[in-house]
Structure formats: C-alpha cells, structure tokens
Structure 1
Amino acid sequence: MVSSRFIQMQDKHELEEIHEAAVKVLETVGVEFQSESALNVFKARGAAVEGSRVRINRNLIETSIESAPSAFMLHGRNGDQSVTIGEGQAHTLVEPCNGCIYAQSLDRGRRIGGIDDLVNFIKLSQASDVCSINGGIPVVPSDVDGKTAYLRILFETLKNTDKPLRSNPGSRQEVETMFRMVEIAEGQPGFLEDHAAIYVSINPLSPLVFREVELETLMTYAEHRQPVAVLSCAMAGVSAPMSLRGTCVLQNAEILAGLVLTQLVNPGTPFIYAPASAVPDMKSGQYVTGSPESNLINIANVQLARDLYRLPTRTMAGLTDAKVVDVQAGLETMQNLSLCMMSGVSIINECLGVLDSIMTNSYEKFILDQEMISRVLTIMKGFEGVNGDLATEAIEQTGPGGNFLYHPDTLMHCRDNWQPLVSSWDHYEKWEEKGKMDAAVRASSIYKAMLSEAPDSMLDPAVEQELVAFARRVAPDVDLGCSIKSS
C-alpha cells in the first residue's frame, strides 16, 4: 500500500504529543493487571508493581516497540492463502464479524444465532474474494454448550476454511488445546513453533484494566509466538475522556501496555495494534458505531502505530447502528469502511454483515459489504496497471471527432474494469424485466448460491476423524455435530 495515499489525521508533532501523553499515563497512573503471572513478569523486569497496579517506564515501552516486528506472515492451511500483515502488504486485509448475538436474513428475519449460522458465515468468508482471514465467532452459537463451545467452534472453522485464522480468548488450557487442533489440521506436529498461523484479539477493560482470562490468553499466545492483537474499545465520555484526543491517549496507553507484556513474555512476538474506540450517544450513554467522530479517534491511532511505531494495525470498519439493510446501513457502513481503509490500516474486521452496533450478522449485508469493500480497494489501487497508461498513442490514432470504442486498446482492456457484485447497472426497463429486485433481494440469492456451492468439509477425512478423536479426549461429552442445516 502506498503511504502517500493514506488519510493523515495528525502531523508528526501531534502524533508525538499523543505518544508522550500515553507514556506519562503509563509511568504515573499505571495499569491494573488482574493476573499474578502477569504481575510476576513485570516484577522480573523491574517495573513498579503495587498490588495489581503496574507502572511501566519509558525504557520498557520503547524497547517493546522496537522488539515487535513491523510485519509478519500469517499462514493459512492452504499456503496460497497466507498473507503478509504490516509493512509491505499489498492491500487492506479483511476478516468477518465477531461476537454478534443475532443472525438475520430476509427469509427468516432476526433470531438468536446458532451453530448453523456460525458455520454458514465461515463458509461465506471462505468463498469471499475480499475476505483474507477467517474464524472468530461471527455469530455466538446459542445452541452449543458453553463449556465446550471453543472446541466445536474451532472444529467447524478448521472444517470449513483453509484461510489464515483468528481466534478468541480462553484459559491457558483451552488455548493450548486449540493450538493442538490447528497442528492436527495442518498435519504437522510442532507447526506453530515456527509458523504464525492463528492470532487472537483481546480487549482491555477501559479505562486501564486487563482481566485474568485476557492476560492468560495473551501470555499463552506470546509463549508460542502466535500473533496478539490488543483491541481498545473505550467510549469517549464514559470509559475514556470526552476529548477525542484524550481518548486517543487512553487507548494508546492501553494498547502499549498490552504490547509491553507481549514482548516481555517473548520478544519478537507479532503484535497488532488495534484501536476501536467510539463516541457514544451521550443522550443515553449507549454505544453507537455510526458516528464520524469515532473515526477521528481511530484513524489518528492507526496513523500513530503506522508512522511512529511501525506496527501492523487493525480496526473495526463495516459498522452501522441500522437494524435492517437500509439507507442508514449503507451510509454508515460506507463512511466507516472508506475512512478506516484509507487510513492505511492493515486489517479491518466487523465488516462483513454487521448490523445493530455489532449485535446482528446479516446474510444479505455480508454480500453488500463485499461490494463496498471491493469499491474502496479499487479506489485505493489508484492508477494501477493499464489505468496508469497516458494512452497518447491511442489518442493520436483516433484524433479529433473519433471513437475509441473499437480501438484495439479498448478491445484488449474493456473487461478489466471493476464490476459490481450486487448493484444493478441495467437500464430501467431491463431492471423492471428482471423483477424490479432491490439490492438486498439480489444479495439474498447470491449468498444462498455461495452456500449451496460450499463443500461439506475442507479437511481430509482421516484428519477430520483425528480432530474428532482429539476433541473427545479433551471433553468426552463434546457435541461436534453431524450435519449443518442451511439458513
């Protein structure tokens, strides 16, 4: 990605001001780490620890920034799907939604999500041309036992995608189990020792608190040198200052605190800087995602990580507070996608299907979001390839009053132009002849076709059986399912 095309929210001096303010917060206020293991790591490196409060000095911060790689490769089970994240990556990478409670479609309306929905969204993400990273929990499966849900979710993920993976927090034992499952699917014991193949995103509890489960996850991933993203989602005026730059400072302090611990556990562990704070509706204190001011905060922090720290970045981008696929959904989603992607962020998430402030995952919006992302990626390419040709020869050959329609250059490249996935470019009569369908209806038919074409499993049968046997040794009563119904 060419950095000169990125949105610049702050100049270098302003970025340094945010950095210095965050360093001051970490040195004087400190951060609560609710884990004895994490506190011991800090004590061993000379940080000031009082109870669960850790004050992190400038030297630890700067050493950790220097230690974390500016880029790394996240490997897919299919090597052709592996991606570079950070400096040198070709374009913004995309991953699906995470943590939605409801699933929604035109046919069935809004309902509590189940394992069938989770599998369907993983299949759609596998089939998507714009989605580079798969996994997570696109819909929380309400019909799966919570104690063994992590096993079922990862089993279904490994079964239905060969793209690089993201996962979610868990206890040390759960994380170690998931790592073993990834290696079984890869067919290579010890694969994770020298391959980054699954990354995790953890959240501080703003302001300035890290809870035990998130810390266990972070440290276990770091010990295995698997990438860690620290996602700060502070709310200006609620869990962060009302000032937008003040929220930049707070979330920078939280993310840097996570970075320091990651690098203290295992220097060189890949780290993803993930700002995702928001300006809520202060009339109610409710979390909202459609405010343009939220982008001001997160773009400034992305720029800070990109320009000062040289770290890979991620932010939530396809967000909307709309409850259905309507004009509001289009307005807010395109606002957030275009601003976040054009900030030069490495990865965007919450951007394929998300509705209702991350409460709902919509099948139709998943398809529409693909087109919106494709539009922005095309703009970000600029005058690439043949589009950068000045075409003086074609102009000379055609001359005044001529027509380029049948010029050899036109005939050679006329199929290279971007085409929509869902939008209709037909004239009115043609559109009417096809049934006068709106974009959501067309999207409905597209996602159904994608699901009907998806394979039942992408695993070798012997590998799948090995995964089932392993999961049942870990939890004998785990339900790994027999078949998945379509939506």
Structure 2
Amino acid sequence: MKNVTNRNIKFSILDERKIQKIHEASIDLIERVGMKIMGERSLKLLHKRGAKTDSAGITRIPKKIVENAIKTVPKNIKLYTRDGEPYINVDGGNQIYFGTHADQLEYVDPISGEIRKFLKKDTKTMCKIADYLPNIDFILSVGMSADVNPEVQSQITFLETVKNFKKPINFSTNDIKGLQDIIDMASVVAGGLKNLQEKPFIFNYCEPIPPLTHPIESTEKLYISAKNRIPVVYMPYSMMGGTSPLSFAGALTQNNAEILVGLVITQLVNEGAPFIYGSMPTIFDMRTTIGSYGAPEFHMLIAAASEMADYYGIPFYGTAGCTDAKVIDEQAISEVTMEIFSTMLSKANIVHDIGVMDHCNSVSPELVVLSNEFIESCKYYNKGVNVSKEDIAMDVIEKVGHGGHYLQEEHTMLNFRNIWYPEYFSRKIQNPDKSEIKNLVKEKIKYIIEKHEVPKLDDNILKELDKWYKKCGY
C-alpha cells in the first residue's frame, strides 16, 4: 500500500448551513425542474422507481430515490495496481492521490521544447515518467493520439498504457463500445472480470453535459460501469455565465444536482456499485471565451465541491496542477502551485490533470516532474503541528538552555530527516546567477526514459492483448 500523508490542517469554504442549502436546492432542481436524460435503459429504471418524463423529454426524479442512492453508494474506494497490490485507498479520511495524463491533444516535448500533436509513441514516455514519480499515483488514458484511427483511439491508448504502467489507470472512451472493450481488456490482465471487480486497477471517467443534460453516451457509460461494478467518476465541467449560473452557489448547486443524478443511475443499475463524485465549476472568461483551468475561482469552487462530496461521504475526484499557459513560465508555475496547495487543503481525494497546459490542450512531462516536487513540499506543510510531550521537547529546551544550540543534540539527529529537502529547488549558500532547475528536470526525464523499467506483463497476457491490437487493426 502506498504511504499517504493525511491532512492535519482544518480548512473549509462552506459551513454546515451553506452545504445544507446547496443540498436542498439540488434536490429541488432534480425533483421540480428536472433533467434531460437520454438512454432507454436508464430511463426504464428511473420510471420503474417513480420518476416521470414529460412530453418535452424532461425527467423529474423524486427526492426519496436520490436519498436512497446516497445511502447505498459505497463510502470508500480501493484501487489496485495491475498486479493486484493495494495502492489507492479512500476510506472516508483525508487521503489524497494525484494523477497525470497518458495522452492529450498536444505534447510539450521535454527534450526539444517543441509543442506538437500527441503521438502513440508518447504514451510510453508519459507512462514511464508517471510510473517512476512517487507522487503520481494514477494515469489517465483518454484516447487522443493523432496517429491512431479515431474509431479505436481509446482502445489503443489503453493497451499502450496498461503495458507501460503498473499503478491504477483512469480511463475514458470516445464512444460507448470502447468502454466495454476496455473492461474486457482489463479483465484479461486481471485474470477475469471477477478478479477485476474484487481488485479494480481501472476506473472510468464520464461527464454529463451542463446545463442539466445527460446524453445517451453518458448514461450508457454509467450503466455499463455499474453493471460491471467498475468504479466510475461522474464529473460535470461547467463554465459560469456559459453553461452554469454566474454565481458560485448557483454553479455548485447545478453541478451537484447533475452528479446526484449520475449517482442515482449507478445505484439503480447495481446497488452498491462504486461511484466517485467529480465537479469542475470554472469561469467563462468573457474577454477570451475560454473556460479557464487556472482561475482562482475554479479551484476555490473545486474545494467547495469536495466538501459537498464529503457531506455525502463519497470520494471526490478533483483537479489541480494545470495551467492556461502554453509554455512553462511564471504564469504556469504560479497557477500550478496555487492549485496544488488549495487541493491539499481541500477534501479532494483523487486529483487529476497534473501537468496539463493550454486549457487542457496539451500535457508537459516537465510540468509533471515539477508538480511532483510541489506535491512533496505540500505534503510536509500538510502534516500540521503535533503537540505531544516528545514534540514540545521541553527537556531538550531546558538542557540546551539560554544562548546554546541544538546541533549536537540527539533530538536533532533523530528528527532532522523529518524536514523536507527539495530535489530541484536550490538552497545553496551561494546560488548561481541563473536557474539550474530546467536542466535538472530535463536530465531527470532523460534518466527516467533511459533507465526506468516498468515490470513486463506476463507473456500469456501480452499474447491476449496482441489479439486486441489486431482486432483494432494494429
């Protein structure tokens, strides 16, 4: 099991009264205003329990159905390595885990500095880097390689990822069929669907379409995930003033209602199916018309949304370590550092988008490596202050006395390794005239690419996966 630092600092955006008001408004939205829900299988289950769909296609779900789903959904999530070793465990505490992308639309090449289309070969590089870094706990396989047939991008990216990455894999698919294909591929690696269900090393990611719309692609992905008992994230990405109200409480309420509808569907399909609450309420920048990934409001609202998930006792899927900047500059570092710090203080559990740049168009291995360093520093901040007798160390203070020093004390020798010592940030007595960090990061990436070996899958498993490559035309 990975050694995880729990949060020891109290921090909140919402108080109990605010959480309750957002919850009640969300229930009213679901029950009175309703949602546009598509997908015959999901609607049939909803209607059987008492939901009604009007002639305009708007479905209204009674409060009791939502309340029952909140009761039956698991309050903890366990994810494993592809070899069945426990790795991520969210059990209602303050555990936090971070993940990056195995692929994206564009790739910020760490050696040449070129920003180009993401290619199939880059997935192996991203996987090796994420596999090596101790603070990157999972990877996202999203199906975006430019040199792969779009009809099988999701499947091919997953195959490349599972071959080159041993930690948990978060995946999304470009279509409904791809989801079942990936579950079947993962079952091969796990030694069967039953083994995969007992020790899942994959979890699915899907989204509704704000405002208040759940297309068939979303409901079917929820349905298939729940039927197979594969953990699923349901995460609306809304832009205030564009696809959600331009008010914090309004955006949180709308997103919360959309997530709860996804939760209801999974529990109606398979009571007790694992579900992860995700929310991305950002701003719609009126000057540029982009949904910002670096806006302070975005990350404050993510922290607030994590408190809504905590209210329901459901694991939360957050966002941090990303930037609107296209290159690693002052903006990128400022945004990424602020986000990771905010997320560390929040109640988020499983946090994605580390190293994502340019409004989620590209991924940068260099930014992933730097973020690993930021995360490590924040883990030390997050330890907080203990006040045991040993920590107060009154006997040591008395022994050293007035005007003395602690350098030769046993207490110092026993505790100096509890301090964070950075790998890249400089604390030299005499600093050079220019930054050394960029070259250090590049050298680290070269080292990982050349030296780090991800354990090879069993030959029999690789033969079975090769059949999937052929089935996909590769």
Instruction: Tell me the TM-score normalised to structure 1 length.
Output: 0.90
Give the superposition deviation at 1:108.
3.6
Give the superposition deviation at 1:187.
3.2
Helix, strand or coil: the match of 1:234? Answer: strand
Give the superposition deviation at 1:186.
2.3
Alignment of 1:267-278 (within 5 A): 267-278=271-282
In 2, Cα distance between equivalents of 1:99 and 1:30: 36
2:102–2:127: 8 Å Cα contact kept in structure 1? no
Give the superposition deviation at 1:425.
1.7
Alignment of 1:12-31 (within 5 A): 12-31=16-35
In 2, Cα distance between equivalents of 1:50 and 1:232: 24
The residue type equivalent to 1:59 in the other structure is K
Aligned to 1:114: 119
Give the superposition deviation at 1:468.
0.7
Aligned to 2:313: 310
Helix, strand or coil: the match of 2:89? Answer: strand
In 1, Cα distance between equivalents of 2:160 and 2:6: 37
Q: Which moved more, 1:438-447 or 1:453-462?
A: 453-462
2:79–2:86: 8 Å Cα contact kept in structure 1? no
Give the superposition deviation at 1:393.
2.3
Aligned to 2:299: 295
Query: CA offsets per residue over residues 117-147 of structure 1, 9 Å max, x none?
Result: 222111111111001122423x821111122
Alignment of 1:235-250 (within 5 A): 235-250=239-254
2:300–2:342: 8 Å Cα contact kept in structure 1? no
Aligned to 2:350: 347
In 2, Cα distance between equivalents of 1:350 and 1:388: 39
1:124–1:451: 8 Å Cα contact kept in structure 2? yes
2:167–2:201: 8 Å Cα contact kept in structure 1? no
In 2, Cα distance between equivalents of 1:193 and 1:78: 13
In 2, Cα distance between equivalents of 1:7 and 1:100: 33
Match among 121, 143, 147 for residue 147 of structure 2: 143
Helix, strand or coil: the match of 2:359? Answer: helix
Give the superposition deviation at 1:241.
0.5
Give the superposition deviation at 1:296.
2.9
Give the superposition deviation at 1:257.
0.8
Aligned to 1:462: 460
Residues 85/268 of structure 1: CA separation in 2 closer, same or farther (3 Å cut): same
Aligned to 2:401: 399
Aligned to 2:449: 451
Helix, strand or coil: the match of 1:350? Answer: strand
In 2, Cα distance between equivalents of 1:6 and 1:110: 40
Give the superposition deviation at 1:193.
3.8
Helix, strand or coil: the match of 1:39? Answer: helix
Aligned to 2:42: 38
Give the superposition deviation at 1:437.
4.0
Residues 61/387 of structure 1: CA separation in 2 closer, same or farther (3 Å cut): farther
Give the superposition deviation at 1:457.
5.5
In 2, Cα distance between equivalents of 1:116 and 1:289: 27
Match among 424, 427, 436 for residue 426 of structure 2: 424
Are 1:373 and 2:375 counterparts? yes
Task: Give the total of aligned pairs.
Answer: 468
1:232–1:254: 8 Å Cα contact kept in structure 2? yes
Give the superposition deviation at 1:320.
1.3
1:81–1:132: 8 Å Cα contact kept in structure 2? no
Residues 178/231 of structure 1: CA separation in 2 closer, same or farther (3 Å cut): same
Helix, strand or coil: the match of 2:419? Answer: coil
The residue type equivalent to 2:467 in the other structure is A
In 1, Cα distance between equivalents of 2:101 and 2:186: 21
The residue type equivalent to 2:426 in the other structure is S
1:170–1:216: 8 Å Cα contact kept in structure 2? no
In 2, Cα distance between equivalents of 1:136 and 1:227: 15
Query: CA offsets per residue over residues 255-298 of structure 1, 9 Å max, x none?
Result: 11111111111111111111111012122322112221122322
- Runs of 5+ unmatched residues, structure 1: 480-487
In 1, Cα distance between equivalents of 2:352 and 2:425: 23
Q: Which moved more, 1:407-416 or 1:31-40?
A: 407-416
Residues 287/133 of structure 1: CA separation in 2 closer, same or farther (3 Å cut): same
Aligned to 2:358: 356
Helix, strand or coil: the match of 1:358? Answer: coil
Give the superposition deviation at 1:318.
1.2
2:9–2:383: 8 Å Cα contact kept in structure 1? no
Match among 128, 136, 158 for residue 131 of structure 1: 136
Give the superposition deviation at 1:404.
1.0
Aligned to 1:330: 333
Helix, strand or coil: the match of 1:349? Answer: strand
Helix, strand or coil: the match of 1:201? Answer: strand
Aligned to 1:66: 71
In 2, Cα distance between equivalents of 1:117 and 1:387: 52
Are 1:251 and 2:249 counterparts? no
Give the superposition deviation at 1:304.
1.4
Give the superposition deviation at 1:42.
1.2
Are 1:414 and 2:416 counterparts? yes
Aligned identity (percent) is 26
Q: Which moved more, 1:117-126 or 1:16-25?
A: 117-126
Query: CA offsets per residue over residues 20-44 of structure 1, 9 Å max, x none?
Result: 1111111112111221222112112
Are 1:229 and 2:247 counterparts? no
- Runs of 5+ unmatched residues, structure 2: none
Q: Which moved more, 1:242-251 or 1:454-463?
A: 454-463
Give the superposition deviation at 1:171.
4.5
2:166–2:455: 8 Å Cα contact kept in structure 1? no
Residues 459/98 of structure 1: CA separation in 2 closer, same or farther (3 Å cut): closer
In 1, Cα distance between equivalents of 2:7 and 2:379: 14
Match among 195, 199, 205 for residue 195 of structure 1: 199
The residue type equivalent to 1:326 in the other structure is D
Residues 77/109 of structure 1: CA separation in 2 closer, same or farther (3 Å cut): same
Give the superposition deviation at 1:428.
2.9
1:245–1:297: 8 Å Cα contact kept in structure 2? no
2:164–2:454: 8 Å Cα contact kept in structure 1? yes
1:104–1:363: 8 Å Cα contact kept in structure 2? yes
RMSD: 2.2
